[in-house]
Amino acid sequence: MNLNHLAIIMDGNRRWAISKDLDPHEGHHKGAENLWVIIEKIKEINIKYLTVFGFSTENWKRSQNEVYFLLRLLENFLDDAKLKINKYNYKIRFIGNLLAFDKTIQDKMRLVEEITLENKELVVTIAINYGGRQDIINATNEFLKFNKSKLDSIEMKESDFKKFVFNKYIPEPDLLIRTGGEIRLSNFLLWDLAYTELIFLPEMWPDFTVSSLEKSILEYSKRSRKYGE
């Protein structure tokens, strides 16, 4: 069964660190390193799209110290991305309410997107300050603005709505993997995941290996997708 678009909820960084008597930021750092390892493998096995949950709209509720570290980690990730994209043919996108970040981070995200815009090998979408409900509300508002002059007569179709969600330019995920032992979507890609196959794993994201990825893909290949039928 073809796997064109993989989505991942990279959960468990904090719990991984605590289990090893480390500060939570060590888990986030390890998780960011692991993302690059998995990206390289995904490119190798010819998956065309990867969407990962990097920072949710709810993450702002964490402690001030942890939020500060996550923002610094994001900035370091962006600096690292600028170095790696010279070596790899990745296109990197960011989705979510990006205006919540300071100008330095916004400028770095914009630069990474501009530099990688024409890259074709793998499209990596990072959902940051993202929420699935926010995505749907934003898309609805954009649809209403776009059709303001004909609201009395227009009837919204799924294909029309798709044009306004954050991931409007890429296909919907075929498979979602969530690490960390939780069995829920946590407000991630609620519109996009309607017919996506789901795999929930007990291992924390820093422990998610290339072997874990391969086993998940094998499990996916054994399934028969019904698309609501």
Percent of the chain with pLDDT over 70: 95
Domain residue ranges in the chain: 5-221
DSSP 3-state of 23 = coil
| Model confidence at 168: pLDDT above 70 | yes
Q: Would the pLDDT of 151 be above 70?
A: no
Euclidean distance between CA atoms 206 and 31, whole angstroms:
5
Considering the candidates 11, 135, 174, 192, report the single residue annotated as catalytic. Answer: 11
Average pLDDT score over the chain: 89
Q: Which of the residues 4, 59, 138, 187 is marked catalytic?
A: 59
Model pTM above 0.95 = no
11 is catalytic: yes
pLDDT in tens, 70-98: 788 788 888 887 777 767 788 999 999 99
Q: Which residue has better confidence, 156 or 211?
A: 211
Give per-residue pLDDT as tens, 171-228: 999 999 999 999 999 999 999 999 999 999 999 999 999 999 999 999 999 998 877 6
Backbone angles phi, psi at 90, to 5 degrees: -90, 145
CATH, domain range 5-221:
3.40.1180.10
Listed residue (209, 177, 207, 176) closest to 194, CA to CA:
176
pLDDT > 80? residue 148: no
* Residues contacting 64, CB < 8 A, separation 6+: none
Taking the CB of residue 19, how many other CB atoms lie within 10 A of it?
12
- Is 59 tagged catalytic? yes
Task: Say how many C-beta atoms besides its own lie within 10 A of residue 92's C-beta.
Answer: 23
Predicted confidence at residue 18, as pLDDT, reads: 92
Most confident of 10-14, 65-69, 85-89: 10-14
pLDDT of residue 57: 67
